[in-house]
Structure 1
Amino acid sequence: MWSRKSAYSFVSDSYDTLVKLWDTRSLKASLYDLQGHEDRVLCVDWSIEQLILSGEADNSLKMFSFK
């Protein structure tokens, strides 16, 4: 999901249990790897700029907050 404030930032989810924050100006590596899930991450939402929500295959949700 793309950031609402930056045209260069987005978050991704994956089956490897990570949520990643990216900058399109440098795609060689993610800016941050957000850990905490134990199963495949199936969805992510970044509607609120300081809060990333993600859901995993076992129906649990994680919240990541930052400034």
Structure 2
Amino acid sequence: MAYNKKGYYKRAKALQELTARYYEPERHDRCYKWVWRKYVYPQFGICYHSYLRYLHTAVPGEAL
């Protein structure tokens, strides 16, 4: 059975969309750490460094 990263890319896309919805670059009280603490960690249960890695993942085409 071949390994693929479909689940990884779906999770990365979901996290990127969640971050785009709540992150505000100019506001220090709406930083990545706040988004992770308030929304990502309770829902996905991943650490902050994993969250940042997901944000920098280039998600291939929409056909996942």
Task: Give the TM-score range, shorter chain.
Answer: under 0.3
Q: Which has the larger radius of gyration?
A: 2
- Normalized per residue, the structure richer in strand is 1
Whichever structure has more helix as a proportion of its residues is 2
TM-score using structure 1 length: 0.21
More contact order relative to length (CA 8 Å, sep ≥ 6): 2
